[in-house]
Structure 1
Amino acid sequence: MYDKKKVLVISDFGIDDIVAVLYAYYSDTIEIVGIVSDYGNVSKESALNNVKYLQGLTGITDIPVIRGAVSALTGAQPQFYPEVHGISGLGPIIPEQIELDSYEISENFYEINALIDKYAGELFIFSAGRLTSLATAFVLYPETMKKVKEFYVMGGAFHVPGNVTPTAEANFFGDPYAANILIQLAPKKIHLIPLDVTMYALITPSMIDSLHEYYLKSNDKVGQIIKPMVDYYYDFYKKTYPDISGSPLHDLLVIWALADGEKMIFEEVPIRVAVNTGCTFGQSIGDFRQSKEKAPWRVHKIAKQFNYGQFITEVFATFKSGSSRQFIKEDK
């Protein structure tokens, strides 16, 4: 069997983040080898509690969990979004607070170095939340970060409105300083998947109902948490965008693209992030002009198109695979 892609997930563990992680759980092409638990949709503590909840649900406890940032480089207190992701980040699901031992609450962000060294040249970083921890790694460990094979980041809004302000997407708005550091210091071109495409990664209620029926028949307790979470997410989107036909699972689209980079069409564009306070705070800006003269900014890969039919077919085939739990590391 071919080697699965080794992935370090940096996440604030809201609904779409968790669905993306569960996609990896069922996938035979992705192997999560580490998790950075971050603030964002919920607090860092709640995100860590969600990781422990998933460990208990899946029985998988051997993947390193690294504690990430608690707040943004801007110095502002983070704003959480219970109306979008629920109080704990799991929609209507409220897991019990899990008792942590002294090791589990210690600051261990430095452990990202050993993980990257272990998988040097083959590790993918998938960033599903605020960019504070990833930016910090670029500042603290620039040589180590050169050993990462590829970066896949959900963030930004270029040709579409933002989802927090008229101009800014949540992950960039949550810490524009970090987003700008990422753009400026990344040792290679980032695969950036913005709202321009993720808003079209729609999962309809009928799709979720069919998937849930499958999990009930197969008595898959892990898969059964997907429907209540996505239904909660859809309720929010339906109130905000009355004509929307389903839930846009932003992070699920990103990890699906990571599984096979040829599935997404990218455009290489010079980009910047607005960091001045005001109405453009957190705005992602790309120089999409067709002229030869371009802004002297760092060039990265911005997703511009994907095959929706292929996305739906492959995602649900993976969720219904029901075979071995590929989320478990094989190299003990």
Structure 2
Amino acid sequence: MANKIIIDTDPGIDDILALLLALSSKPEEVELLLISLTFGNIEVKNCLRNAVSMFHILERETEWRRQNGRPEGFGAMRACRPVVAVGAEDPLEDQKMLADYFHGTDGLGGIHDSHPHLTPSQAWEQLFDPAADPDGIEAVQSGAGSRDHPFIPSKIPAHKEILRVLRENEPDTVTLVAVGPLTNLALASAEDPETFLRVKEVVVMGGAVNQPGNVTPVGEFNAYADAFAAARVFALTSPNPNSTLPPTESPVLPPYPAKLSRRLTLRLFPLDITLRHNISKGEFRKAVTPLLESGSPLAEWVDAFMGHTFRTLERLHPGHVGDDAHLSLHDPVCVWYALTSTDPKWAPSPTSPEDIRIETTGQWTRGMCVIDRRSRHKIEGDTESSSDHGLWLSANAGNRILRMDESPAEKNFGEIMIQRLFG
């Protein structure tokens, strides 16, 4: 049976690669039910343009492959049209930070200006606008053939779509892969925690435990971009979720109910594991060059934003030069787990489940993954004491995070991904 998944994302370069990896799968591997969009790498409106552009390119690629007698691929996309929904524009409480310094202001290295022929017209925007005139929408649908597009546009917020999907499917059958800030997840779990807890597991790309951060010395981007949201979602793994909720001065979201029917299963993919899954410029160039020469629309599109990526890596990181420059495939690793989770080579750290909490108020430590590294005896009960500020030692409090540490594809994941995308 195909794995049912939701991908919550802020496309972004590696986010697009993650989406392509899911859509290029076989129908029996995955059923992508929903793509929920959030701010993060860029503003959420640009995230939507990138997602729609991806589907536009895939339509062209499918036709090109058909005309040239090549296997069409992207069976999962043809078998199940995912809903695309627009979500959070801002973090819950923090000052907004984007990663356009890496991804470009449009999220794909300026591709919409440098390669305008690869970007669809913006008539599709009306399909997502709740206030749009229905007659106008029908005109767009008729003119653009949107009923035949490989996605279904949603007019309701992404966090409500997440709850809808979880209500309409049996408990423990849908995996939620979150590869951006966790704002949509925090909103969904606050609105209806019991429905949110119907999820099989939440797979999160975020945080840094034993590695430096990538936006501050201790902060990884997704955890930093909305630390309050991450802390709230992590809290649902606790026997007492309210024991680890972040302090707040504004009633943005309420506390969780005192009693919940179950705890959230959350698998965390921090930089510690994602940095070990890479693709080099040389590997990418070798694979994509013959496809560019053959006229593949997908190869032209991906090559355009990957060229920007490798140039940025050379500028930001010493030693990332020429064909040796390599891109860490943070988000695709999480999708690969969702596709292959039964492989026994996937394994959490030996110390999992761990009480990992996200710092929300520190001047220099926003988004930091905090772990109690003290060697202390556990304390029964859930009352804070002077020797255990924060209930770190309580057996009835604290988060329970499965921090992933071992992968079946660490050495050749870039090769696997390229083969999946381009055949």
* Global fold match (TM > 0.5): yes
Displacement after TM superposition at 1:282 (Å): 1.2
Which one of 152, 155, 180 corresponds to residue 231 of structure 2?
A: 180
* Contact 1:12–1:42 (CA under 8 A) maintained in structure 2: yes
* Contact 1:256–1:311 (CA under 8 A) maintained in structure 2: no
Q: Which residues in structure 2 correspond to 1:56-67 (within 5 Å)?
A: 56-59=56-59, 62-67=81-86
The corresponding residue for 1:200 is 276
* Contact 1:162–1:168 (CA under 8 A) maintained in structure 2: yes
What amino acid sits opposite 2:103 in the alignment? H
Asked whether 1:271 is paired with 2:365, we answer: no
Which one of 300, 313, 338 corresponds to residue 258 of structure 1?
A: 338
Identity of aligned residues (%): 25
- How high is the TM-score relative to the length of structure 2? 0.70
Q: Which residues in structure 2 correspond to 1:152-301 (within 5 Å)?
A: 152-186=203-237, 187-216=263-292, 219-244=295-320, 245-261=325-341, 262=343, 263-267=345-349, 268=352, 269-287=354-372, 293=378, 295-296=393-394, 297-301=398-402
What amino acid sits opposite 1:7 in the alignment? I
> Relative to 1, partners in 2 of residues 1:71 and 1:97: Cα closer, same or farther, differing over 3 Å?
farther
* Contact 2:206–2:222 (CA under 8 A) maintained in structure 1: yes
> Relative to 1, partners in 2 of residues 1:91 and 1:102: Cα closer, same or farther, differing over 3 Å?
closer
Which one of 135, 152, 156 corresponds to residue 186 of structure 2?
A: 135
SS for the counterpart of 2:401 is strand
Displacement after TM superposition at 1:155 (Å): 0.1
Displacement after TM superposition at 1:240 (Å): 2.0
Which one of 93, 114, 125 corresponds to residue 111 of structure 2?
A: 93
What amino acid sits opposite 1:265 in the alignment? A
Q: Which residues in structure 2 correspond to 1:23-172 (within 5 Å)?
A: 23-28=21-26, 29-59=29-59, 62-76=81-95, 78-94=96-112, 95=119, 98-100=122-124, 102-106=126-130, 108-109=156-157, 110-120=160-170, 121-172=172-223
The corresponding residue for 2:421 is 319
Displacement after TM superposition at 1:68 (Å): 0.9
User: Which structure has the larger Rg over C-alpha atoms?
Assistant: 2
The corresponding residue for 1:326 is none
Per-residue CA distance 1:260-299 (angstroms, 9 max, x = gap): 1234321211110111130111101234567664644211
> Relative to 1, partners in 2 of residues 1:83 and 1:291: Cα closer, same or farther, differing over 3 Å?
same
What amino acid sits opposite 2:420 in the alignment? T
- What is the distance in 1 between the residues matched to 2:208 and 2:268? 10
- What is the distance in 2 between the residues matched to 1:223 and 1:151? 31
- What is the distance in 2 between the residues matched to 1:80 and 1:274? 19
Relative to structure 2, which stretch is displaced further, 310-319 or 279-288?
A: 310-319
Which one of 411, 419, 422 corresponds to residue 309 of structure 1?
A: 411
- What is the distance in 2 between the residues matched to 1:230 and 1:286? 35
- What is the distance in 1 between the residues matched to 2:104 and 2:223? 21
Displacement after TM superposition at 1:102 (Å): 4.7
Relative to structure 2, which stretch is displaced further, 298-307 or 136-145?
A: 298-307
What amino acid sits opposite 2:404 in the alignment? A
SS for the counterpart of 2:318 is coil
Structure 1 gap segments, 5+ residues each: 322-332
- What is the distance in 2 between the residues matched to 1:144 and 1:124? 13
- How high is the TM-score relative to the length of structure 1? 0.88
> Relative to 1, partners in 2 of residues 1:230 and 1:102: Cα closer, same or farther, differing over 3 Å?
closer
- What is the distance in 2 between the residues matched to 1:15 and 1:6? 23
- What is the distance in 2 between the residues matched to 1:214 and 1:149? 41
Per-residue CA distance 1:109-156 (angstroms, 9 max, x = gap): 223222222333321111111111111111112111122112111000
Relative to structure 2, which stretch is displaced further, 47-56 or 170-179?
A: 47-56
- What is the distance in 1 between the residues matched to 2:295 and 2:5? 28
Relative to structure 2, which stretch is displaced further, 191-200 or 171-180?
A: 191-200
**Would you say how many aligned residue pairs link Structure 1 and Structure 2?**
318
Structure 2 gap segments, 5+ residues each: 60-76, 113-118, 131-154, 238-262, 379-391
* Contact 2:44–2:88 (CA under 8 A) maintained in structure 1: yes
Displacement after TM superposition at 1:310 (Å): 4.5
Asked whether 1:15 is paired with 2:13, we answer: yes
* Contact 1:193–1:302 (CA under 8 A) maintained in structure 2: yes
What amino acid sits opposite 1:160 in the alignment? Q
Displacement after TM superposition at 1:224 (Å): 3.3
- What is the distance in 1 between the residues matched to 2:16 and 2:47? 10
- What is the distance in 2 between the residues matched to 1:114 and 1:318? 30
Per-residue CA distance 1:19-77 (angstroms, 9 max, x = gap): 1111112122233211111111111111111122122222379421112101001152x
What amino acid sits opposite 2:417 in the alignment? V
